[in-house]
Amino acid sequence: MPVQPFDRYQEGAGFLHRLDPRVKVVLTALGILSNVLIPDGAWSAFLLTFALILYLTHLAKLPWGFVLKRSLIILPFTLTAFSVIFITPGTTLTVFRLGPWSFSATHAGVIRFLSILARGLLSVQMAILLTATTSFADLLHAFRHLRLPRALVGTLAFTYRYLDVLGDEAVRLMRARQARSARLPGVSVRQGVRWRGKVTGAMVGQLFLRSLERGERVYYAMLARGYRGHIYTLNPHAMTADDWVFAWVGGLSLLAIQLLARLDLLLTP
């Protein structure tokens, strides 16, 4: 049985785990905004942000390399920004020739590319920190109480609840197919890609129908308990002094990073 393989929550008792999820969600969003707003080449600001993330990792009692390792998954995506090296105007560093074409890498282009890389990595690290220290149920609560659209939060909640139920169903279907994929000795079976495709297609259809029927039963179960179009939740969290302090300190740190970034650029023309 898969045990929530997509859930990135790390059970723990660090300071970050105890914080109100609303504070964490808002600060993560602001943090990502701050990363985006750091101008190209403001290395001190990028470094300071990274130091902040490392410090939070420490507060969360997670291993030092934790966010760094996990954030590497976005590297392939940042490569899509590779072209900025060649299309940003500026002093030419080197020229690559490829058949009839030539590409000139510019100084400004390289700086822009590295900055995009840094923004991507830092932002993903922030998100990783959030999901590692906040359980999914808490995240949903935070979203609801931050007035995110109900339909969106509801969809997320049901996806989380039923993804594994659906996964189990898919595994059972696959086992049933394997159990009947017999072959007699000496008989060659000609089952081409088309046939396999047909079987797989039928299975996907089955899964879809089963989900549809389950959705209907879940809806009945909700109606039976008084559902009339709105989902209400209790807030199991209350803002403590710690939460407010962290919110202010976090917010001011991000502001400081922005100021530093501007100063950095002013001083090194």
Write the interaction track for other proteins spanning residues 5-44; mark x where CB under 8 A is met and - where it is not.
-----------------x----------------------
**Using the rule CB under 8 A, is 3 a contact of other proteins?**
yes
Out of 233, 245, 255, 263, the residue judged to bind other proteins by CB under 8 A? 233
Q: Toward other proteins, which CB reaches closer, 5 or 76?
A: 5
Q: Give the Cα-Cα-Cα angle 47, 69, 159 (nearest 5 degrees).
A: 110
Residue type, 146: L
Out of 51, 93, 221, 259, the residue judged to bind other proteins by CB under 8 A? 221
Give the 3-state secondary structure of residue 97: strand
Point out which span in 39-47, 92-100, 179-187, 220-228 binds other proteins (CB under 8 A): 220-228
Strands 101-106, 92-98: pairing is antiparallel
Q: Which residue has the tokens 């400004």?
A: 108
Point out which span in 37-45, 78-86, 204-212, 216-224 binds other proteins (CB under 8 A): 216-224
Q: What are the CA-CA distances from residue 157 to residues 140, 162, 179, 211 (Å)? A: 7, 9, 34, 15
Point out which span in 59-67, 70-78, 171-179, 228-236 binds other proteins (CB under 8 A): 228-236
Q: How far is the CB of 176 from other proteins (least distance, A)?
A: 18
Q: How far is the CB of 235 from other proteins (least distance, A)?
A: 6
Give the 3-state secondary structure of residue 15: helix
Give the 3-state secondary structure of residue 242: helix
Q: Which residue has the tokens 């996990």?
A: 70
Q: Toward other proteins, which CB reaches closer, 93 or 221?
A: 221
Cβ 49 vs Cβ 257: under 8 Å: yes
Lookup: tokens for 107: 């100084």
Q: How far is the CB of 142 from other proteins (least distance, A)?
A: 10
Write the interaction track for other proteins spanning residues 153-182; mark x where CB under 8 A is met and - where it is not.
----xx-xxx-xx-----------------
Point out which span in 70-78, 110-118, 124-132, 223-231 binds other proteins (CB under 8 A): 223-231
Q: What is the DSSP string of 40-89?
A: TT-HHHHHHHHHHHHHHHHHTT--TTHHHHHHGGGHHHHGGGGGHHHHS-
**Using the rule CB under 8 A, is 225 a contact of other proteins?**
yes
Residue type, 118: A
Residues in touch with other proteins (CB under 8 A): 3-4, 22, 136-137, 140, 145, 157-158, 160-162, 164-165, 214, 217-218, 220-228, 230, 232-236
